[in-house]
Chain A
């Protein structure tokens, strides 16, 4: 079983919808949680970064961490076609500071 699980999708939603992307993890030693966005044939870029449980908001994006359930989410409000990309979660294991990546969810926003 992978330490970090992420549904590969694709997830296809109409423009303007609220999108929910999720990752689950099995190791309670994970401490820092990140979401990266990767456009087709490009490298990933950091979107959101959280440390503690709770919500963090940045414009149309909200990152949510629930350490008790070992579950993190990224919400996108008022989704746009330009949000179409693969979204990767990543988290750092506090025991050895190793960064572990989810496989990524491909998101398609239909105009």
Chain B
């Protein structure tokens, strides 16, 4: 039981490049989330998916797109990376659609945009 896995662990991009961050969970959870974590800012929700086939914007969705590929997988895409997107990105999942449920986090992806 691996929990929540994320790839890649580290990535360096140049401004304007695109990339997709991958996330998968093996806990049969319904809800999945993408956060970014910046110093002094706490975790900020980018997008979430309450169930397979649905996605919703969070607090900071601009510059990102997501795909809930199936129940297990939730990807985050940066179409044209900007230095302001330098951050640590965390994927999380929870059993139900209620955000009061405990969220389980992956190890994070450290992204630098030059």
Contacts and interface: CB of A to CB of B under 8 A. Distances in A.
How big is chain A's contact interface, by range? 20 to 34
Contacts of B92: 43
A41 to B, nearest CB: 7
A56 to B, nearest CB: 15
A46 B42 contact: no
B106 interface: yes
Given A92-B99, A97-B98, A43 B4 contact: yes
A4 interface: yes
Interface residues of B, number: 20
Interface string A1-19: 0001010100000000000
A43 B105 contact: yes
B43 A42 contact: no
B87 interface: no
Interface of A: 4, 6, 8, 32, 41-46, 49, 88, 90, 92, 97-99, 101-104
16 contacts: A6-B42, A8-B40, A41-B107, A41-B108, A43-B4, A43-B105, A43-B108, A44-B90, A45-B105, A46-B102, A97-B98, A97-B99, A99-B99, A101-B42, A103-B41, A103-B42
